[in-house]
């Protein structure tokens, strides 16, 4: 195993949510840091929950986040196919290999029979209600049935599964790159189903067989998998692949902001923030907006996600993808979960908007302007607008409100101008129009000095006329310096906006 190969295996059953993207990101960072491959395998065994279009959606999300896989069903690679359903054939053979070596067995129990077993065990006062070493000899399987009977049932196509046979009394020890040394007893590990009645493998069989086949060197996933790690480790042993077992890492969970539990897809709607990277058409919830649609930059989204469970030990908080690849160390990934904080997420976006130049922001911004029907004919002007306004935008959507008045005259609420209005002020603006109209200059110094001089001449405080001037141009009390705005929208437009208002007063 000369090269690092990590694989990310989302189940295409529901949108790619925060936890999923973060797992992908950490896998990607680790792979790239070590010059390895980032493999995407699609786990589509659960037919009933498979959602149409989900697989493409995952590619789109990863693309938007700039973490595209090197190998995948879409991009191919040396160990294709990467879609679990297309690998179906090999799983049965591996399961049967285990049966022959005595590490697995056929089980013919129906779900009702298993349910009855649990009831019985419970009634007997057992703590352990699992189908395992304590109970398997009471069930209908190839351990209790004779060889003949077993073969007969199989020949008759009686539905059956293959279960792993785990012997009690063993200590399973392994080193987790995030959690450290972990030791578990095989006593509490149940005889998990490896091959389902429909012939498809469960996750347990599939990860082990596929990871081995694909020469995966590092197996990273969410913490929810930690309790089943012993099954996977035992499987590597039973297959005789112990020396090729990947290194494990289990990432902490992303928790709900208001406590109680891991962040779920429903929390987004309930708490008013996105949980998906991109818009997702959920069969149950309908169309759910993602971070992208809410106005997040991919740079900020990735940055925020990376910091939710890892930091480099310095005070640095804003990282580009490239910087993340360089700085990422898996042993600095936290062992405990983090509550998601939408305010902090927005802060990251704000930081990235400030950090990126107007030109860099342009591609992400253009669709927003187009959507709102801005007529942008002058890219140079647009660039000026963006630089003037970007520091006051937290989300991309804020740019609409913050820059609309550059492209079309605002709707001015007269009351805002009329506040402390007097005839002298009207006179001021009339004179201002004349002065500016007759001048050939239109730069910041000229505008500011002529404006202030005139105010002083008329014994008005500049501030007293600056405020209404702003409202005339902007439509509200916000935005960059008024003279900067006037320069960008131009002389003609500036004068016309003033005239339009003072005529109404």
Active site (annotated) includes residue 384: no
Q: Which of 174, 236, 241, 347 binds RNA (CB under 7 A)?
A: 347
- The residue among 3 and 270 lying less far from RNA, judged by its C-beta, is 270
Strand order in the sheet with 161-164: 104-107, 161-164, 193-195
Nearest to 212 by CA among 362, 87, 386: 87
Scanning residues 71 to 110, which ones bind RNA (CB under 7 A)? 109-110
User: Is 55 in contact with 303 (CB distance < 8 Å)?
Assistant: no
Applying CB under 7 A, the span of 21-29, 345-353, 370-378, 432-440 interacting with RNA comes to: 345-353
Tokens at 428, concatenated: 């001021």
CB of 422 to RNA, least distance (A): 16
Rounded CA-CA distance 304/291 in Å is: 11
Scanning residues 380 to 409, which ones bind RNA (CB under 7 A)? 391-392
Rg from Cα positions in the chain: 32
Provide the 3-class DSSP secondary structure of residue 282. strand
Q: Which of 16, 39, 200, 454 binds RNA (CB under 7 A)?
A: 200
Q: Which of 480, 486, 494, 501 binds RNA (CB under 7 A)?
A: 480
- The residue among 259 and 373 lying less far from RNA, judged by its C-beta, is 259
Instruction: Identify the active-site residue in 33, 196, 262, 265.
Output: 265
Q: Give the position of tokens 């002058």.
A: 378
Tokens at 398, concatenated: 């804020």
Q: Which of 37, 210, 223, 267 binds RNA (CB under 7 A)?
A: 223
User: Is 364 in contact with 297 (CB distance < 8 Å)?
Assistant: yes
Applying CB under 7 A, the span of 21-29, 86-94, 222-230, 321-329 interacting with RNA comes to: 222-230
Rounded CA-CA distance 71/90 in Å is: 20
Scanning residues 302 to 341, which ones bind RNA (CB under 7 A)? 307-309, 311, 313, 315, 317, 332, 334-339, 341
- The residue among 440 and 477 lying less far from RNA, judged by its C-beta, is 477
* Residues that contact RNA, how many (by CB under 7 A): 83
Rounded CA-CA distance 190/311 in Å is: 37
Burial of 46 (0-12, 13-18, 19+ CB in 10 A): middle
Scanning residues 107 to 126, which ones bind RNA (CB under 7 A)? 109-111, 114
Scanning residues 158 to 197, which ones bind RNA (CB under 7 A)? 159-161, 179-180, 182-185, 188, 190, 193, 196-197
CB of 139 to RNA, least distance (A): 11
CB of 240 to RNA, least distance (A): 24
For position 416 contacting RNA by CB under 7 A, the verdict is no
- The residue among 207 and 278 lying less far from RNA, judged by its C-beta, is 207
Q: What is the distance of C-alpha 477 from the center of its chain? A: 36
User: What does the buried/exposed string (b/e) look like for 50-67 if buried means 16 or more CB atoms within 10 Å of the residue's CB?
Assistant: ebeebbebbbbbbebbeb
CB of 85 to RNA, least distance (A): 10
Kindly report the backbone phi and psi dihedral angles of residue 249, in degrees, each rounded to the nearest multiple of 5, phi listed first. Answer: -150, 130
Provide the 3-class DSSP secondary structure of residue 311. coil
CB of 169 to RNA, least distance (A): 14
- The residue among 322 and 341 lying less far from RNA, judged by its C-beta, is 341
Nearest to 400 by CA among 377, 361, 373: 373
Q: What is the distance of C-alpha 23 from the center of its chain? A: 9
- The residue among 171 and 240 lying less far from RNA, judged by its C-beta, is 171
Applying CB under 7 A, the span of 51-59, 240-248, 420-428, 459-467 interacting with RNA comes to: 459-467
Q: Which of 80, 81, 85, 129 binds RNA (CB under 7 A)?
A: 129
Tokens at 417, concatenated: 């101008």
Q: Which ranges in 128-275 belong to alpha helices (H)?
A: 147-155, 203-213, 229-239, 267-271
- The residue among 43 and 211 lying less far from RNA, judged by its C-beta, is 43
Scanning residues 30 to 59, which ones bind RNA (CB under 7 A)? 43, 45-46, 49
User: Is 312 in contact with 327 (CB distance < 8 Å)?
Assistant: yes
Scanning residues 253 to 282, which ones bind RNA (CB under 7 A)? 253, 255, 257, 259-262
For position 127 contacting RNA by CB under 7 A, the verdict is yes
- The residue among 1 and 264 lying less far from RNA, judged by its C-beta, is 264
Q: Which of 145, 466, 488, 498 binds RNA (CB under 7 A)?
A: 466
Q: What is the distance of C-alpha 278 from the center of its chain? A: 8
CB of 331 to RNA, least distance (A): 10
Q: Which of 27, 72, 130, 217 binds RNA (CB under 7 A)?
A: 130
Rounded CA-CA distance 405/413 in Å is: 14
- The residue among 152 and 461 lying less far from RNA, judged by its C-beta, is 461
Rounded CA-CA distance 338/479 in Å is: 36
Q: Which of 173, 242, 461, 500 binds RNA (CB under 7 A)?
A: 461
Q: What number of residues does the chain have?
A: 505
Rounded CA-CA distance 232/225 in Å is: 10
Catalytic residue numbers, as ranges? 265
């Amino acid at each position: 195993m000369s090269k690092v190969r990590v694989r990310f295996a989302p189940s295409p059953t529901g949108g790619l949510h925060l936890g999923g993207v973060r797992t992908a990101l950490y896998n990607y960072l680790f792979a790239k840091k070590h010059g390895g491959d980032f493999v995407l395998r699609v786990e589509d065994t659960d037919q009933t929950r498979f959602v149409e279009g989900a697989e493409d959606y995952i590619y789109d999300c990863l693309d938007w986040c700039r973490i595209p896989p090197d190998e995948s069903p879409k991009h191919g690679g040396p160990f294709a196919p990467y879609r679990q359903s297309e690998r179906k054939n090999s799983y049965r053979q591996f399961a049967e290999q285990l049966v022959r070596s005595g590490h697995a067995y056929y089980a013919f129990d129906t779900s009702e029979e298993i349910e009855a077993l649990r009831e019985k065990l419970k009634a007997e006062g057992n703590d352990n209600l699992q189908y395992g070493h304590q109970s398997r000899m009471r069930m209908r399987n190839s351990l209790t049935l004779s060889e003949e009977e077993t073969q007969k049932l199989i020949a008759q196509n009686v539905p059956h599964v293959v279960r792993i046979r785990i012997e009690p009394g063993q200590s399973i020890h392994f080193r987790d790159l995030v959690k450290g040394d972990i030791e578990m007893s095989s006593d509490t590990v149940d005889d998990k189903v490896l091959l389902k009645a429909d012939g498809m493998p469960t996750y347990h069989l599939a990860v082990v067989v596929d990871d081995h086949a694909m020469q995966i060197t590092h197996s990273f996933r969410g913490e929810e998998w930690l309790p089943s790690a012993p099954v996977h480790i035992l499987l590597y042993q039973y297959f005789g692949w112990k020396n090729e077992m990947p290194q494990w890492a289990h990432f902490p969970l992303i928790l709900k902001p208001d406590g109680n539990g891991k962040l779920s897809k429903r929390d987004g709607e309930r708490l008013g923030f996105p949980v998906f990277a991109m818009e997702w058409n959920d069969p149950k919830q309908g169309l759910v907006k993602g971070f992208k649609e809410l106005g997040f930059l991919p740079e900020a989204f990735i940055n925020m996600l990376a910091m939710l469970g890892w930091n480099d030990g310095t005070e640095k908080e804003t990282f580009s993808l490239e910087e993340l690849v360089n700085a990422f160390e898996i042993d600095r990934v936290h062992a405990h979960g983090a509550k998601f904080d939408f305010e902090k997420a927005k802060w990251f976006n704000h930081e990235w908007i400030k950090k990126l130049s107007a030109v860099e922001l342009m591609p992400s911004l253009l669709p927003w302007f187009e959507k709102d029907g801005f007529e942008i004919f002058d890219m140079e002007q647009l660039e000026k607008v963006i630089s003037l306004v970007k520091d006051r935008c937290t989300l991309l959507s804020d740019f609409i409100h913050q820059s609309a008045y550059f492209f079309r005259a605002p709707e001015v609420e007269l009351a805002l101008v009329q506040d402390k209005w007097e005839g002298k002020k009207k006179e001021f603006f009339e004179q201002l129009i004349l002065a500016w109209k007759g001048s050939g200059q239109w730069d910041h110094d000229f505008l500011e000095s002529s404006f202030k001089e005139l105010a002083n001449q008329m014994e008005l405080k500049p501030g007293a006329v600056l405020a209404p001037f702003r409202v005339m141009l902007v439509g509200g009390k916000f935005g960059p310096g008024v003279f900067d705005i006037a320069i960008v929208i131009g002389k003609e437009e500036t004068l016309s906006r003033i005239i339009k208002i003072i005529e109404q007063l």
